[in-house]
Every structure is written in structure tokens, then in C-alpha cells.
Amino acid sequence: MHRAVAAVAQEAANGKIDIDKDVLKKAEWISGNELSDEQRDKLVRSVKQNLAGLQQLRNVELTGADQPAVYFGTLKAQTDNRVEIKRSVSATKTAVAKRPDSNEQLAFLPVTELSNLIRHRKITAVELTKLYVARLKKYDPMLKFVVNMTEELAMESAVRADKEIASGRYRGPLHGIPWGAKDLMSVPGYPTTWGIPQLRDQTLKDRATVFHRLEQAGAILVAKLSLGALAMGDRWFGGMTRCPWNPKIGSSGSSAGSASATAAGCVGFSIGSETLGSIISPSRRCGTTGLRPTFGRVSRHGCMPLSWTMDKIGPITRSVEDTALVLAAVHGADEFDPTAIDQPFSWPPKVDVRGMKVGYTARRTKLEDRNDLKILRDLGVELVEVKLPRTVGIRAMTDIIGIEGAAVFEKWLNAEQTDGWNSWPNTFRSAQYISAVDYLRIMRHRRKLLHEFEKLMETVDVLINANDLVHTNLTGHPSIVFPSEIRDRNGKKSVRSVVLTGRLFDETRLLALAHAYQSNLTAHLERPPLDLFLADFEAEEADEDRKESGDDKKGKSKSDKKKDKRFW
């Protein structure tokens, strides 16, 4: 209600209107209350006082790093004490690998194999970095996944990595591995654009904690990769990021560039973020393996906030084991992010998947005809039919994103600087009409959901393909997605994936089952026919250039015409 009154407060300050009982009456629909004239008379003075105080707060500029004093934590985070963690991790296979015959094969190797080659000096970090830099530049015009290259930083890091490895100072399985960062992650010296044109030159001083930890692990940042504007979808100020398996369509989002570049063999791995599907969705579209860790497992410091109580940072890779190696390097408590805590994680896992209880939800397909469950049976797990909590208003709970995002981006919104924001402006403006009471009501319902979902997870170790994306983004449970099949229908390739969800902070068990499951698949080893797609793309580009070389009778510029092309 105060928010509605605030809409006329500015006019009142300019002497155009006074806040009286008639103004309050017009605003009552927001609170759902109908007051008497006597109640309105009493309320006028307190509303004016409240607005004056709120105006003082509005005059003080805040940044996204200024988190609310009340913050969300998973049930486990609230009951467990912080524990000291030891970062001991290694790949399951340690035999010396043979360098592939071609650079194409090399580019698509998982981190587990790339790190083996680098450690035994079958390839240098400099060679691998140059390979990925070249591929990024080659395929970016078609796929549009690069916002800014970090080539100078990458080459310096690669030279340093080779010297360290040669001298016997091997930092671990990410040492010398080139990677890409979703461009909401702050890297000093390079723009961090958040996918919107207003910030294409924004350079932040903060060093994102995830970037710092990967740097300490010896990984090499080669590019800042695209995200949909303010973490929505795959459209950003540079265009629409494309799917490597079918460049006629978008890569989905908002970790659009991270998934696309990884699937295209242009980085060894990448980092994405998820608030409501932004790792899972593009990974499903592009055929990558994506891990959305437990909320609070990985620090968000130095990354653009969209929703303080729902944002998660996680790896996008080519294999399940790769996600484990990256997670091991980046997880843990951080003094700059009060939600990040220490919880154990180990790899290789000392977990026997036989006997695990895996929950599935009923479908129209007969149980015996479900391929996803057949592999689980062969692995020796116990299948348990479950039902997700049918919580009232679960979709309404996702208004949290709009409410918190409206607070983050209020400065630009009020200044009408919202060009290129996709549909965020309307979402943020509508969120401003949700009262503080209703926000707390949503959070109270969310608390009920936490308990209901945790009660479900006490009956199983993991869920499979449970369509639990909204539930688990609200509760903070971890999920991993990986490709199970690459389909080819009339020359159009698409990906079918598996999604597994685990218990809070139990990524070790979750990834153990996912790794065992993926060992029965080959989809994650397939490579998109990028050069065939690129030939078609370049042919059409050349055709457009020829058409535009003459007089432009319609008055359109060359750049305008290219925007009108239907194929790309």
C-alpha cells in the first residue's frame, strides 16, 4: 500500500497533490483491506512519516553487493556448524594418456584427459590456450558466445603454468586448463557487462571469489562469455547466442555462452550461474554437463546478483567428473558472501551406487519402457516412486526473483535506462507493487516448502527426471544434467538429457551416481558438425554481401539487413 502511495508522493512533494484519506482509499486495493473513514484519517499522518523516512533511504545509493541483513539459507546450512574442508581431489583415471591425432579431437577432450596430457607434458598450456583462443574466434561470428576475449591474461597465465609444471609445481587437475566465465563474473582489468548495452564498458574492481579460486588452481581464463540480458534467456546486446547442435536456434539461457562454448569445444570448461534454470536449461539445449550446486556451496562474491536468496554458481563441462574437479576447486566459505559455508566434498567418491535409493515420478510411459530407469536398474539401485510436494502457489514464490531483482536494478529502472533488458523492466516494475508483507508471506510459504521437500529427500538419495526445477531452485537442492542422446531428425540435431537431484550438500553421492550413469552413455562424447554449419553460415554471409554491394533502394543499411536475415 505504501508503494502505491509513493507513486503520488513525488507529486505531493512538488505541491501538486496532498496525501489525504481519499488518496489512501485509492491505494487500498494493494493491501486487500478496506478501511473506514476514521481509520483513514488516523493513517494519513503515519503514512506521510513513513514516506519521509523511506525517501531518506532512497537517497542513499546501494550496490548489488549490499545484501539484505536477512538472508536465505538451506535447512542443513542452518543446523550444521561450519566444518574445515580439505581440498583433495583427483581424477578416477590416472594412466598416461596419448595425445589425440587431431586438434579437433583434442579440443573436445574432457578436463580429466586434458589435465593428464598437461601434467605429463604431452601438450603445453600455451598450445592448448592458443587452440581454444583460435576456436573461439573462428566460431563466435556464428554462435555469438564471446563478449570479450581475455587473451593477454590467458597467454600470461599459460606461460606461467608451463613453467610451474616443468619445475614440478603441479597445482592439480585444473592447472593449465583454459576456461570461460559467464559475463556476470567480475575480473579486474576486463569489462563485466551483465549482458546489457548500458554496461558494455563496465569494469569492476572486485575479483570474483570463483575466479580467484580457479586462478589459484592454475586454470586459465580465455574469455568472458555471453549471458542473456541481466541473466534472462540467450539474447544480449551482441545478438542471440546459438546452439552448436543447431545454430538456427538459441542456446537457451541465461548461461548461454558458457554452455554454447563448452559444447562447441572452445573452452575446457566454463562457469555459469542459475537462479531458476540458467545452468540446467542451456546445458539441456547444448548437450553439456551442468552442475547447479547446493545453495551456499559456492560463493557468489563478485558476481552480478539477481536474487540474493536464489542465485547459485556452478560449472558447465563435458563430463560429470569434470564438474567434480571444478567444484572441488571453487566451493567453500567466503568472508565476502555470508551464505557460503564449508561442507565436505570428496572426489573420487568412496560411494557404492549399488543399493542407492533413487526416486522417480510416475508418467504415462510404462515403467519397463523408461530408458532412464533401465540404466539405473542395471547399476543396482533401488527405485522408489515419489510425488513432489504439491505446495500451494509454488509458481507465485518465484516472484522472489522479480522483487529482489527490482531492488538490485532500481537505479537504472527509475532512470528509464532499460533498453536491451529483454522483458525484465515489466517484471521489475510489477514487483514494486508487491508489498513487504506479501514478500514475507512468500518467504513463509517457502519455509514450508523447504521442510516438505526435505521430508521427501529423507526417503531417497537421489531423484531422476522429476521435473523439480522450480522446487529445487527454491529449496537450494543440487541438480546435475547431462546428455543421454543426440537425436537427428531430418538433419536437425537435438539433445535429450537426464537430470538428477541430490540431498543438500551431498554432491559427492549425487555425482557418484551421475558418473556411473554417464559411463553407460556416449552422447557426451559426440561433437557437433560445426564446420558444416559454419560453411552454410559463411555462404549466406557472402550472399548477403553480394546483394548489398549495389544501391540500397529500400534505404536499409548493411547492418540492418543482416539483422533481418531469417536463417541466422
Residue 254 annotated as catalytic? yes
**374 an active-site residue?**
no
Q: What pLDDT band is residue 496 in, cutting at 50, 70 and 90?
A: very high
- Digit-coded pLDDT (tens) for 70-86: 778 888 876 665 556 66
- Cell representation of residue 243: 546452439
Q: 542 versus 149: which is more confidently predicted?
A: 149
**H-type helices in 381-497, by residue range?**
394-397, 399-408, 410-414, 424-431, 436-457, 469-475
**Selected catalytic residue, list 76, 144, 182, 224:** 182
pLDDT digits (tens, 9 = 90+) for 505-554: 999 999 999 999 999 999 999 999 999 999 999 998 877 777 766 544 44
524 vs 318: CA distance, rounded Å:
6
Q: What percent of the chain has pLDDT over 70?
A: 88
Largest Cα–Cα separation, the chain: 85
Q: Which three cell numbers stand for residue 399?
A: 516472484
For residues 401 and 426, is the Cβ–Cβ distance under 8 A?
Answer: no
| Fold category of 75-86+104-392+438-528 in CATH | Amidase signature (AS) enzymes (3.90.1300)
Q: Determine which of 5-14, 160-169, 527-536 has the lowest per-residue pLDDT on average.
A: 5-14
Q: Which long-range contacts (CB under 8 A, 24 or more apart) does 337-340 make?
A: 337/209, 337/299, 337/300, 337/301, 338/67, 338/71, 339/71, 339/72, 339/73, 339/77, 339/295, 339/296, 339/300, 339/308, 340/209, 340/296, 340/297, 340/298, 340/299, 340/300, 340/301
Assess contact for 414 and 59: CB atoms under 8 A.
Answer: no
**Position 489 pLDDT exceeds 90:** no
Using an 8 Å Cβ cutoff, are 316 and 497 in contact? no
Residues with Cβ within 8 Å of residue 23, at least 6 apart in sequence: 5, 8, 17
Quick one: average pLDDT of 438-450?
89
Where exactly are the structural domains of the chain? 75-86+104-392+438-528, 531-563
pLDDT at 552: 46
Catalytic, 102? Answer no
Over residues 331-357, mean pLDDT: 95
Whether 559 has a pLDDT exceeding 70, the answer reads: no
- For residue 207, the model assigns a pLDDT of 97
Q: What DSSP character marks residue 203?
A: B
Write down the pLDDT at residue 556. 42
**Residue 222: count of CB within 10 angstroms of its CB:** 31
Distance CA 198, CA 321 (A): 38
Q: CB of 90 within 8 A of CB of 350?
A: no
Cell numbers representing residue 182 in the block: 559467464
230-259 as b/e, with b when 16 or more CB fall inside 10 Å? bbbbbbbbbebbbbbbbbeebbbbbbbbbb
Cell matching residue 295: 545453495
Question: b/e per residue, 124-139, with b = 16+ CB within 10 A?
Answer: bbbbbbbbbbebbeeb
Prior bond of 110 cis (ω within 30°)? no
Per-residue cell: 114: 586434458
Of 186, 251, 252, 254, which one is the catalytic site residue?
254
pLDDT at 3: 55
Question: How far is residue 193 CA from its own chain's centroid?
Answer: 15
Q: Quote the CA–CA distance of 504 and 479 in Å, as a whole number.
A: 10
Q: What are phi and psi of 385, to 5 degrees?
A: -75, 135
- How many whole angstroms from its chain centre is CA 200? 20
Strands of 312-317's sheet, edge to edge? 146-149, 220-225, 178-182, 269-274, 312-317, 289-292, 479-489, 492-502, 462-464, 357-360, 382-385
- Average pLDDT in the 34-38 region? 82
CB-based contacts of 44, cutoff 8 Å, min separation 6? 19, 20, 21, 24
> What is the C-alpha to C-alpha distance for residues 386 and 471, in angstroms, rounded to an integer?
14
| Cell representation of residue 26 | 485509492
Q: How far apart are the first and last CA of the chain?
A: 47
Which one from 186, 278, 283, 497 is the annotated catalytic residue? 278
Mean pLDDT of 25-46: 76
pTM, two decimals, is 0.89
Does position 334 have pLDDT exceeding 80, yes or no?
Answer: yes
CA neighbor of 500 nearest in space, from 484, 488, 482: 482
DSSP class per residue in 67-120: --SS----HHHHHSPP------B--S--SPPPPPSSHHHHHT--HHHHHHHHHT
Query: What are the two backbone dihedrals, phi and then psi, of residue 479, each rounded to the nearest 5 degrees?
Result: -135, 150
Q: Is 385:359 a contact under the CB 8 Å cutoff?
A: yes
409-430 pLDDT, tens digit per residue, is 999 988 889 999 999 998 888 8
Express each pLDDT in 228-272 by its tens digit: 999 999 999 999 999 999 999 999 999 999 999 999 999 999 999
pLDDT tens profile 366-424: 888 899 999 999 999 999 999 999 877 888 899 999 999 999 999 998 888 999 999 99
Alpha-carbon distance values, 158 to 128, 325, 390, 438 (Å): 9, 19, 51, 52
Q: How many residues does the chain have?
A: 568
Weakest-pLDDT range from 18-32, 217-231, 477-491:
18-32
The answer to whether 92 and 351 are in contact (CB under 8 A) is no
**Residue 315 φ then ψ, to 5°:** -85, 150
| Grid coordinates of 122 | 604431452
State how far the Cα of 398 lies from the Cα of 130, in Å rounded to an integer: 42
pLDDT of residue 36: 84
567 pLDDT above the threshold of 50: no
**Looking at residues 167-191, what average pLDDT do you find?**
98
Q: 155: burial class by Cβ within 10 Å (0-12, 13-18, 19+)? A: middle
Residues 537-542: contacts with CB under 8 Å, at least 24 apart: 537/141, 537/142, 537/247, 537/568, 540/565, 540/567, 540/568
Cα–Cα distance for residue pair 9/3, rounded to 1 Å? 10
Residue 351 has φ and ψ, to the nearest 5°, of -130, 130
How far apart (Å, rounded) are the C-alpha atoms in residues 112 and 129? 16
- Kindly report, residue by residue over 100-116, the tens digit of the pLDDT: 999 999 999 999 999 99
Return the pLDDT at 555: 44
pLDDT at position 157 is: 98
Output the nine-digit C-alpha cell for 320: 560429470
Confidence grade of residue 32 (pLDDT, cut at 50, 70, 90): low
Select from 85, 113, 103, 126 the least CA-distant residue to 322. Answer: 113
Q: Write down the H helix ranges in 217-307.
A: 256-263, 280-286
